[in-house]
């Protein structure tokens, strides 16, 4: 397959890791593309004969460090397209050219807040999408997708609060003890799971969250959704109207232990893409290991990509570093209990599907009775030998 000029190399040269992360040039869509020489990957990681010439990946939001594995695969000479809300460059494995390109397409406002699963079904340029475990299960009836490897072991989703107003709150379970309003976005599934488990009252749920800090700043009596690798930093360091710590608890600590950020493919295209996935999935796994082991250079790439599009929310070096540290230190980006990274625990996925079924059904979303966890999450392409070294 012919690859685009963005990723075509002009020769063979060894590019040091520091070159990839710190001195590789990124270009906006208005600037001319320059060729960059990259050492070719070994045959086991050459994707040219089995993958699309450009591997399109739909993100859930704008670039950020919980997607670090994907940006670890974005090679030098990448091009930011501010019209398409995407970035394209050579797809690299350990810094070496796999023979194809990668395009990372932003989600959220960039796609009119449509779901990633819906984009997989309408955008033929996208092969894979980043789908949280609960959303993957909820899509099973109408837009089935298959998770082939998780980028994160657990979700960083939180409920956050003002510790001065609520000193009695230590965990998310404490929030339901009273009648405080819990502000969440309408597409979140965990609030209804918490209601079903008796952890929150239905009367507490307010689905008007729009991502802005104004509501929380103006009314510190509420609890609000967020992500542990983002809001605790931005509210204390980058929100002048607040500029102090927040209290929070991880939703996963209440038992909502879904896999977050699953690399997912349309169920009806799994066999078509299987030769590509057999080589690509271990590259994604190893890229996650490489990222969390030394995140700085890739964080610089993420910050740079965001800075080139003025419609994105600012993403600072400080937030990127905080995020990587928290994901590692809190065990959210970590080996599975069997010691492998980027694999599924089948007992856990089965429990997640069984747990979510009644919750989704109560809202009118019926998971097909014959749909099993093994059909939604597969270890068919993962390499169990890949793991994060624990020092």
Residue pLDDT, tens place only, 282-315: 999 999 999 999 999 999 999 999 999 999 999 9
Say what the pLDDT of residue 184 is.
97
DSSP H/E element including 56: strand 54-58
Percent of the chain residues topping a pLDDT of 90: 86
| CB crowding 48-75: b at 16 or more within 10 Å, else e | eebbbebbbbbbbbbbbbbbbbbbbbbb
Kindly report which listed range (13-27, 105-119, 227-241, 248-262) carries the lowest average pLDDT score: 13-27
Token pair of 336, please?
């599975």
Name residue, tokens 């976005």: 185
Distances from the Cα of 61 to the Cα of 118, 172, 177, 206, 330, angstroms: 14, 25, 33, 22, 22
Distances from the Cα of 93 to the Cα of 20, 51, 261, 299, 363, angstroms: 12, 14, 20, 17, 42
Q: How far apart (Å, rounded) are the C-alpha atoms in residues 240 and 236? A: 8
pTM, full prediction: 0.91
Q: How far apart (Å, rounded) are the C-alpha atoms in residues 286 and 378? A: 17
| CB crowding 141-151: b at 16 or more within 10 Å, else e | eebbbbbbbbb
Domains and CATH numbers, the chain: 17-153+259-376 (3.40.190.10), 157-254 (3.40.190.10)
pLDDT tens across 199-241, in order?
A: 999 999 999 998 899 999 999 999 999 999 999 999 999 999 9
Kindly report which listed range (33-37, 52-56, 81-85, 122-126) carries the lowest average pLDDT score: 33-37
Angle at 171 between CA 170 and CA 174, to 5 degrees: 85
Q: Which of 87, 101, 124, 91 is nearest to 3 (CA)?
A: 101
pLDDT at residue 134 tops 90 = yes
Token pair of 275, please?
């030769």
Q: Categorize the per-residue pLDDT at 254 as very low, low, confident or very high, splitting at 50, 70 and 90.
A: very high
Token pair of 175, please?
């929030």
CB-CB contact of 102 with 73 (8 Å): yes
Q: Which of 388, 391, 352 is nearest to 372 (CA)?
A: 352
pLDDT at residue 187 tops 90 = no
Angle at 136 between CA 132 and CA 140, to 5 degrees: 170
Token pair of 374, please?
């093994």
Strand partners for 223:
182
Cβ atoms within 10 Å, residue 279: 20
pLDDT at residue 55 tops 60 = yes
Q: How far apart (Å, rounded) are the C-alpha atoms in residues 103 and 106? A: 10
Q: How far apart (Å, rounded) are the C-alpha atoms in residues 90 and 76? A: 7
Q: Which of 300, 259, 381 is nearest to 74 (CA)?
A: 300
pLDDT tens across 349-388, in order?
A: 999 999 999 999 988 888 898 889 999 999 999 999 999 9
Say what the pLDDT of residue 20 is.
38
Find the DSSP H helices in 238-345: 270-293, 296-307, 317-329
């Amino acid at each position: 397959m012919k690859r685009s000029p963005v990723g075509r190399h002009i020769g063979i040269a060894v590019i040091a890791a520091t070159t990839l992360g710190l001195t590789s040039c990124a270009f906006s869509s208005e600037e001319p593309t320059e060729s960059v020489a990259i050492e070719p990957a070994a045959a086991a990681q050459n994707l040219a004969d089995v993958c699309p010439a450009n591997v399109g990946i739909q993100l859930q939001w704008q670039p950020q460090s919980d997607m670090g594995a994907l940006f670890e695969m974005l090679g030098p000479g990448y091009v930011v397209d501010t019209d398409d809300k995407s970035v394209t460059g050579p797809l690299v494995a350990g810094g070496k050219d796999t023979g194809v390109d990668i395009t990372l397409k932003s989600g959220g406002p960039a796609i009119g807040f449509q779901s990633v699963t819906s984009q997989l079904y309408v955008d033929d340029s996208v092969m894979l999408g980043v789908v949280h475990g609960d959303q993957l299960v909820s899509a099973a009836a109408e837009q089935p997708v298959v998770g082939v490897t998780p980028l994160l072991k657990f979700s960083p989703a939180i409920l956050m609060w003002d510790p001065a107003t609520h000193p009695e709150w230590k965990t998310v379970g404490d929030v339901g003890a009273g009648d405080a309003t819990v502000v969440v976005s309408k597409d979140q599934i965990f609030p209804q799971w918490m209601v079903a488990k008796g952890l929150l009252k239905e009367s507490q749920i307010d689905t008007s969250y729009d991502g802005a800090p104004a509501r929380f700043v103006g009314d510190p009596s509420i609890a609000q959704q967020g992500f542990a690798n983002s809001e605790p930093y931005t509210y204390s360091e980058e929100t002048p109207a607040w500029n102090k710590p927040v209290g929070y608890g991880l939703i996963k600590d209440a038992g909502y232990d879904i896999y977050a950020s699953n690399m997912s493919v349309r169920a009806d295209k799994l066999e078509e893409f299987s030769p590509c996935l057999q080589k690509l999935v271990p590259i994604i796994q190893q890229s996650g290991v490489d990222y969390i082991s030394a995140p700085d250079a890739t964080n610089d790439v993420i910050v740079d990509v965001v800075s080139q599009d003025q419609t994105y929310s600012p993403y600072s070096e400080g937030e990127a570093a905080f995020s990587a540290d928290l994901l590692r230190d809190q065990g959210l980006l970590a080996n599975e209990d069997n010691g492998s990274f980027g694999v599924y625990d089948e007992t856990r996925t089965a429990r997640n599907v069984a747990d979510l079924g009644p919750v989704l059904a109560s809202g009118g979303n019926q998971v097909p009775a014959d749909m099993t966890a093994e059909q939604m999450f597969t270890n068919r392409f993962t390499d169990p030998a890949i793991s994060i070294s624990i020092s």
